[in-house]
Every structure is written in C-alpha cells, then in structure tokens.
Amino acid sequence: MGGHNPAPALKAMTRKSPLRPADIRGVSRLAIDATIGLTRLVETMHHNIVRTPGPLGKHTQEPTRGITGLVYRSIQGVTRLVGSGIDALLAQLTPLLDQEPATSSSTREALLAALNGVIGDHLAASGNPLAIPMQLRCNGQPLVLTRQGFAAGIPKPGGKILLLLHGLCMNDLKWRRNGHDHGEALADAAGFTPLYLHYNSGRHVSTNGHAFADFMETLLQAWPVPVEKLVIVGHSMGGLVAHSACHYAGLGGQTWLQHLRQLVFLGTPHHGAPLERGGNWVTVILEASPYTAALARLGKIRSAGITDLRHGSVLDEDWLHGDRFARSKKRTPVPLPEGVRCYAIAASIAKTPDASGKPPPGDGLVPVRSALGQHADPRLCLNIPESQQWLGYDMHHLDLLDNAEVYEQLRKWLS
C-alpha cells in the first residue's frame, strides 16, 4: 500500500456517484433498520425451532428468553447505539459535504423513486431523508405553490392546466419516454400548461389522495391567471391517487373539484393487479408453518402502496382497521366524481383481438377489465361509457407513456 494516495480515486468515485452526501445519512438509517429487523427475524425462527412444534403447529412472535434472549437484545441495543452515533455524525458532516446544485441526476431520481415505491411508507414513518416529499414539479424542478412561485417556475402559465400523476416506483421524469412526453405534446397541440406530481408511491394511496387534494386546493388559489379548464391524467397507481383525491375533495367541499373537467386513467388497476395478489399468497403460505413463519416478514417489507394495488384500494377505511396483508380484504366501492368526464385506456400484450371473442390478456401488470373499470359486481363497476374507453394491442404497461396511438387518443379526447 506504501505511498499510494487514494484521494484521486475517491474524488473520481464521488463525481460519478448519483447519490448525494445527504443520501448517505438515509442509507445509513436504512441499514440500521434492516440489521435490527433481520436480528428479530432470526430470533423468532430460533424461538420457534427451540419449541419444536409440529410442521403446521402454532407459531409465536415472542422473543427468546434467558441468555439467548439477552444476546439478541444486546445485538439490537448495540446496533441502535452505533446507528444513532453514525446518524449524529452524518448530520454534522452533510452540510459540509453536500455542495451539489439543487438539480438531481436522472439516475438518482430513478433510484429514489424505486426505493420509495418498495419501502416508502417505512421511510416516511421513520423520518428517513430518502423519503420523497410530495411536490408539484415542472421540468423536474419543484414549484412553490404561491403566485410568485408559479411566476418564477413557469414562464407563461395558461388557463388550461394539465396535471400528470406517475405510477408505482416511478417519478415525474418518467413521463418522458423515448423522446416523447404526453404533457409536452398536449401543451403544443391543445394549449395546456403541464404540471407533474412527484410523490412517494410507497405510502397508502388514500394518504397520497388526501395530500394531493390539499395540493390542488392550494394550486387553484395561487394560480396566477383565471383557470379555464383542469384535466388530470394518471398512469397506473397515479390514477388511483387521483380517484382518491377527488373523493376526499368532494367530502371536504374543496373548490378545485369544480374546475376539473376531464380525468383520464392510463393502465390504472381500478380492481387490483394479480401480481400483488400472488405476492400476498406467498406470505400466507410461509405463515402456515412455524418454521417458516418468520420468513413471512420478508414478504411484509413491501410498502403500503403496493398492498393497496391488490384490490385497487383508494380509501382509508380499506386499511385503517385491519391487517393489510390479510388473505381476504374488503374494498369500499367509490364512484367516479360527478360532473367530470372520465376516460380509461387499457393495453394488451396480444398482437390483435382474438377472433373467437375471448377476453384479451392485460399489459403484463394490469388486466384489461381492471384498467377499464369493468367488474361483475355492479357496485364496483365504474360505468365508464364505451365511447370513453380505448384498448390498445401489442403494447406493455410502460408503452402507455409513449405509444403514438395512445397519444392520439388523448389528443382527441382532451382537445
């Protein structure tokens, strides 16, 4: 090692890294949380194995006792102590190290969006700096919801506002795909001023719905010119957040809902997504045996936002008074907002319609009937008119963001 100087290499690594020094503090907290959680998981497995129940016997979440219990508690205590020390040190160093401009790299944005989608509820609840705060953004820059803020962030704000809401594990920058952005294209074609919601997709849909409804009320009050028309386009989970926000705005008597003219859902899982239901069955199977029950905790790491996608839940009541991982879960029917023209676009990976009339497969994540709001139970059916539904073939879930036919349909509806 002799006279080798590591400083140039470290400097080069720092330049290339998409993470900021402030992110290191969040990652450190996450690592501490993971260590404590893993220790508890192993302790639970240890305790159940020592009890030697039958293969399908009753498992327990109780901690171990005696010397064994003391060892596990010591590991957790030392981890917390070390973690708090590291966090205090990073809190002092971060202002000195973090000299990057306010703009972020697309790589960092994508990493944070994915992390928030998977465990964003934990990040928010634990006050982790990696948790994404809800913001309205334009060109990737946050907007201050005041007249002065809009004037500074938007060169020519118009009276026709288009709000675009991204889906799970994504961010507002993902609306640009293969050089196309529905918002920018509709701004050129129909004179909209596009705004993009940036939010933590790992939180409950209804939690984001409440927050978005409040954002919209502030937005309309601070908009610098009279609002002629308000349109919302939600991709995937974004459509559920918009649906939830409309419901709570109606309950609260918020005025922005009176300006909403059109609401478009792109591949929104109104009645849930099979992938999350399959993931929940894995948890149920693991919990069936005391020897694997502790491993079910790994499946339960997934965020509240993800579990809401199992049935398309948009209300607080769907999760407040029960186990969100329960095998059976009731969902409260929520009608679409009155006086608003609602549209639904679905995609299918099938090349063409089936000649036999067989229902086409979905887009790889969301079934066609779920995306179109169709349901056998009349209470859950959204009753979107056929003239306001559209099904595209030979495309996947993310293709909805840049497909030329999808854009053309949006242009026809919204113009």
pLDDT at residue 106 in the model: 81
pLDDT at residue 383 in the model: 96
Q: pLDDT for 178-213, tens place per residue?
A: 999 999 999 999 999 999 999 999 999 999 999 999
Helix residue spans in 287-344 (DSSP H):
296-299, 304-308
pLDDT at residue 86 in the model: 39
pLDDT at residue 108 in the model: 79
Q: pLDDT for 297-343, tens place per residue?
A: 455 667 899 889 888 999 999 998 776 666 656 788 999 999 999 99
CATH homologous superfamily for 135-272+331-414?
Alpha/Beta hydrolase fold, catalytic domain (3.40.50.1820)
Domain residue ranges in the chain: 19-100, 135-272+331-414
Name residues of the chain where pLDDT drops below 50. 1-18, 24, 28, 34-60, 64-65, 67-72, 74-76, 78-90, 92-94, 96-103, 277-297
Contact 325, 282 (CB under 8 A): no
Q: Are strands 341-348 and 193-198 parallel, antiparallel or unpaired?
A: unpaired
CA distance linking residue 311 with residue 267, whole number of Å: 14
- What is the number of other CB atoms lying within 10 angstroms of the CB of residue 96? 8
Contact 204, 317 (CB under 8 A): no
In terms of Cα–Cα distance, which of 410, 397, 322 is closest to 364? Answer: 397
In terms of Cα–Cα distance, which of 398, 211, 207, 203 is closest to 302? Answer: 203
pLDDT at residue 217 in the model: 96
Q: Give buried/exposed letters for 133-149 (b at 16+ CB in 10 A, else e).
A: ebbbbbeeeebebeeee
pLDDT at residue 299 in the model: 52
In terms of Cα–Cα distance, which of 65, 62, 45 is closest to 294? Answer: 45
